[in-house]
Amino acid sequence: MSLLRVFIVSDSVGETGELVAKAAISQYLNTEQNAVLKRFPYIDSIEHLQEITKLAEGQRAVIVYTLVSKELRHFVERETARRGIKAIDLMGPLLDALEEELHSAPIGEAGLVRKLDDDYFKKVEAIEFAVKYDDGRDPRGILLADIVLVGVSRTSKTPLSQYLAHKRLKVANVPLVPEVDPPDELFDVDPKKCFGLVISPEKLNNIRKERLIALGLNDDANYAKLDRIHEEIVHFRKVVDRIGCETLDVTNRAVEETANLILGKLQK
């Protein structure tokens, strides 16, 4: 069996073209071991394409290309036809169909899917970080975080951490209770990325009572008593004063509002 040569030509990495080529080649028994695939990534000029098509003609190679630029695609189409080279355009027909369907021209920027993938993985990483360092589980996360949230129980630290994680920010949160000393790392963190969450005692009293009822417990437990709540808030203020961080009142704010407030302060 003669050797099959396939040139993968792309304005990005060339991963998509190679995967499609391999998938097609695998449909022919024993062809894979007689096929040579060569990538030509980051092609952005007609000069590059001239060299590649000339090389393909000499080696009798098939060209598989993924190019978003119409100019480059049309050049490959004309040049391979002139040289008698088999060429498969993986990107062009779909781009043209979408342009017609959406009545909008494509951006024409190479590598956008990789940028989107990077964005996705950063979001996943941030979400996993928020879970790992939720509720003070591991104080080492405090120094690794982009944002550190501190507050008494039921001040929306966890949902706020997850919301900010979807903005690709790594968030650690630490609960404050008078009987437990705050982790030392909390006082080593940059105060500008630390935010104390406070809530009115009356609002917190209602939230904690509802929480106890939802758990099937008696709502007159010490956890929900106003005296206990005042004690916790006094302790909270001592800690945030020592950290030197900003305090945000979340009494009548939705998680999204508090998150936007934090994001605005970080941007400043």
Per-residue pLDDT, 121:
85
Residue list for the binding site: 151-158
70/60 Cα distance (integer angstroms) = 25
pLDDT digits (tens, 9 = 90+) for 82-121: 999 999 999 999 999 998 899 888 876 776 666 666 778 8
194/121 Cα distance (integer angstroms) = 25
Helix or strand (DSSP H, E) at 248:
strand 246-249
Residue 221: which residues within 8 A CB-CB, separation 6 or more? 212
pLDDT digits (tens, 9 = 90+) for 131-163: 999 999 999 999 999 999 999 999 999 999 999
Q: In b/e form, how buried is each residue of 202-222, taking b as 16+ CB within 10 angstroms?
A: eebbebbbeebeeeeeebeee
Q: Which of 30-39, 118-127, 174-183 has the lowest mean pLDDT?
A: 30-39
Q: What is the pTM of this model?
A: 0.62
User: Which carries the bigger pLDDT value, residue 30 or residue 196?
Assistant: 196
Quote the mean pLDDT of the chain.
92
124/20 Cα distance (integer angstroms) = 27
Task: Go through the domains of the chain in sequence order and give each one's CATH number.
Answer: 4-116 (3.40.50), 118-267 (3.40.50)
pLDDT confidence band for 257 (50 / 70 / 90): very high
Residue list for the binding site for ADP: 151-158
Per-residue pLDDT, 34:
86
135/175 Cα distance (integer angstroms) = 6
Which residue, among 130, 234, 214, has the nearest Cα to 172 in the 3D structure?
A: 130
21/90 Cα distance (integer angstroms) = 10
* Stretch 124-128: mean pLDDT: 93
Residue 235: which residues within 8 A CB-CB, separation 6 or more? 176, 177, 178
Percentage of residues in the chain having pLDDT higher than 90: 79
Whether the predicted pLDDT of 1 surpasses 60: no
